[in-house]
Each structure stands twice: as C-alpha cells, then as structure tokens.
Amino acid sequence: MDELDARLIGLLQSDARLSNRELARQLGIAPSTCLERVRSLTRRGVIRGYHADIDPAALNRGVQAMVSVQVRPLSRAVIDTFKASASQLPEVLSVFVLAGGDDFLLHVGVPDLDALHGFLLDKLSKRSEVTGFRTSVIFQEFSNPAPGLLPRRP
C-alpha cells in the first residue's frame, strides 16, 4: 500500500460509484493505471466489495440496538452455532464475536420498541446457550465513511 492506493481507497469509500475515468482524473493518473490499481487492491483482498448505504428506517427498522450476549458453555461449537443462527435472524444486521465479558455483540434493527422487546424475549432469551444479555438502544448513528489508513509502526 502506498499513498496513491490510500487516496484511491479514500475516494472509493466516499463514493464507490465513481467511474474509473473520474477516479483517475481526481488522482491525476491514467485510467489504465487506475484500473490496474483497483484490480490489484481487489485481488489482494483490500477491497472486499461495494455496498449501498441504506437508511434502516426506510426498511422499517427505525429502532436499532446493540445487544451484548453471553453464552455458555464457552466452546467453539457453541460460538459457531450461535453465530450462524444469530446471523440468520431477520432482525440482526451484524454479528460481532468478542473477547472479554461479552461473547457477542448483535446490531439489531426492528420497527419499534415492542418488536425489540419481542426479539429479546421470543428469540434471544429462549436459546439454551444464552446466559445473559444487555441491550443498548441506539439514538443516533454517526460513521466515518472514509476512515483512511493508520500509519505503519516503525
């Protein structure tokens, strides 16, 4: 990764719909060079895909929450099974496997607080491996669309 790759990634993070010609223009390089850089970043797994940024409220997911979950017994089989089943639930937007006091963090999107309550009682608390959970309702979300690269350690 060099400075040109970093600038290219920043542009794509800001607007993944930029054409190759426009990317090249903004970077001050030839379109063929730009295309090869994008292909190289994709081959190396730096660019994993292109995604649409969807408003959850437009999909009837106006209430979002982060749910910290503890499971037992703590084993690879239990973790893998819970991860697979949680990721298939329509309310779950993301599943994070954690180290520390909590084993999972679920990003959940539902129509309203009643639906969140129902999800917690009917789908989460009924699972035998779930020993506890804590829920934090999200009031606002801010994200960095182009976080950039961290400097390398010497």
State the Rg of the chain over Cα: 20
| Co-location of 83 and 32 in the same domain | no
Q: Is 8 exposed, middle or buried (0-12, 13-18, 19+ CB in 10 A)?
A: buried
The reported pLDDT for the residue numbered 22 is 97
30 close to 36: Cβ distance less than 8 angstroms: no
What pLDDT shows up at residue 133? Answer: 98
Give the pLDDT score at 14: 87
The candidate with the shortest Cα–Cα distance to 35, out of 60, 27, 68, is: 27
Contact 59, 74 (CB under 8 A): no
Q: Is residue 96 located within the same domain as residue 129?
A: yes
Q: For the chain, which residues score pLDDT lower than 50?
A: none
Give the domain extent around 130.
Answer: 56-138
* pLDDT given at position 150: 67
The answer to whether the pTM exceeds 0.85 is no
Q: How many domains is the chain partitioned into structurally?
A: 2
